[in-house]
Amino acid sequence: MVNVYFDSLKREILMYSRYFEGKSVVTIYFGGGTPSHVPVKLVEGVVETLAQNVFLNVEEATFEFNPEDVNRQLCRDLRELGINRVSVGLQTSSDELLKVLGRPYTFKDFERAYSLLRETFDNVNVDFMYSLPFEKLSDVENDLKVVEDLNPDHVSFYELEVHEGVPLFSMVRAGQVQLPVEDVSESMYDLVVEILGDLGYERYELSSWTKKKPCIHNLRYWKNEDYIGLGLSAGSHVSNERWVNTSEIREYVSQLAAEKYPRAYSSVNDPSIEVAETLFMGLRLAEGLNIAEMREKFGDDFDRVFAKIEKFCGELLECSDRLKFTKTGMKFSAMVLREIT
C-alpha cells in the first residue's frame, strides 16, 4: 500500500501544478506523520516529481525524523536530495514518560540519532512536550539540561493537549492517567521560558525558540500566507480558500485515481473569517501583526474582530502600532485566542 500511496501523492502534485503557475516554491516540509519510516527512494520520487512540474526556488527543505529511524546513510541520502533542515521528536528525556506516551525509543536512542543528524545537517530542531502524564517539574528541568548540553539550533516546546476521542482522554477521565495540576503546569511553562532565554534562545512564536534562524515554512503558515499541503490529512490555504485532505487512505487513493481532489473539507472564507484566521495565527508570533496593515487589508472586518479582544489590551496585549502578546499574554494566550474563534 505504501507504493500505491506514493504514486497517488505524485498524481496529486500533477493535479496541483496549475496552482503553481507564475509562482515558486520557497519551502518544502516533509512531516506531519512519519516520513522517516518510508524508503528514501519514495521520497526521492516526490522530490523529482516536484522538480519536474513546479518551479523550485527552495530556501528551506525540512524533514521530520523519528529517533529510531535515523541512520548515517539515510541522512546522507536526504542531504543529497536537498534537505537542509531536520526536526527530530524527543518529547521528553525521561524513559519512564516515553513509555507512558508509547514511544518506541529511549533517551539513549535519541542521543545516538541526534549525533548522526549533527554529522550531516547544520540546522537541527528538537521537539519537546511538557505537562505530560505523571510528569514532574524535575523532568522538565532535565529536558532543559539536555537542550543546554546538545545546543540544537531550534527548539519547540509544546504543552500536551488531550482532546476528546483519543485514548489518553479516556484514560485521564477514568483516572488511569494523572496530568500535572494547573499550578505545576504553569511552573513548567515559566521554567521553559526562563531557561531557554538564559541559554540564548530567541522566542519567535508561542512554542518555538531559535539560536540560528526561525523556521521559514512555519513563519509562512503563521502569517497566513499561501501554502499547499499534499498527502493524507494535509491542509492548504491559497488566497481566501482553505481545504483539508481526507485522512482515509483508500479514499485518498480512489479520489486521485478518478482525477478528483481528495478533500474532506473545503471552504472559501469570507473577509470576516479570513481576518479572524489571520489574527488567530499571527498573534502566535512574538512580532505580532501590524495594525495599520491589517486595517488597510481588511478594513472594517478587522475592527469587528479586533473588538472581541480589545478588552485584553494592556496586561495581555500590546495594541499600539503592532498587536502582539505581552510576556504575560503569551502565558495566557489560549484565553485570548479563544475569543477570536
- pLDDT in the model for residue 172: 66
The angle subtended at Cα 170 by Cα 166 and Cα 171, nearest 5°, is 110
DSSP tag of 21:
T
**126 and 41 belong to one structural domain:** yes
Per the structure, the count of domains in the chain is 2
**44 and 183 belong to one structural domain:** yes
Q: Judge whether 261 lies within some domain.
A: no
- pLDDT in the model for residue 19: 82
Cβ atoms of 114 and 150 within 8 Å: the answer is yes
Q: Judge whether 110 lies within some domain.
A: yes
Map residue 278 onto helix, strand or coil.
helix
Q: Judge whether 182 lies within some domain.
A: yes
* Strand-strand pairing, 85-91 and 289-290: unpaired
Q: Judge whether 15 lies within some domain.
A: no
Q: Measure the CA–CA gap between 64 and 231, rounded to whole angstroms.
A: 15
Q: Measure the CA–CA gap between 145 and 272, rounded to whole angstroms.
A: 44
Query: Which helix (H) or strand (E) covers residue 4, if one does?
Result: helix 2-15
- pLDDT in the model for residue 160: 87
- pLDDT in the model for residue 33: 75
**155 and 85 belong to one structural domain:** yes
CA 306, distance to chain mean position in Å, is 26
Of 163, 188, 215, which residue sits at a domain end?
A: 215
- pLDDT in the model for residue 171: 66
Cβ atoms of 203 and 286 within 8 Å: the answer is yes
Per-residue confidence in pLDDT tens, the chain, 341 aa? 788 999 999 999 999 988 888 788 999 999 987 888 899 999 999 999 999 988 889 999 999 999 999 999 999 999 999 999 999 999 999 999 999 888 999 999 999 999 999 999 999 999 999 999 999 999 999 999 999 999 999 999 999 877 666 666 666 666 677 888 899 999 999 999 999 999 999 999 999 999 989 999 999 999 999 999 999 999 999 989 999 999 999 999 999 999 999 999 999 999 889 999 999 999 999 999 999 999 999 999 999 999 999 999 999 999 999 999 999 999 999 999 999 97
Q: Judge whether 135 lies within some domain.
A: yes
Q: Judge whether 195 lies within some domain.
A: yes
**Structural domain range at position 321:** 275-341
Of 164, 185, 215, which residue sits at a domain end?
A: 215
Query: Which helix (H) or strand (E) covers residue 43, if one does?
Result: helix 40-53
**303 and 160 belong to one structural domain:** no
**173 and 303 belong to one structural domain:** no
**279 and 211 belong to one structural domain:** no
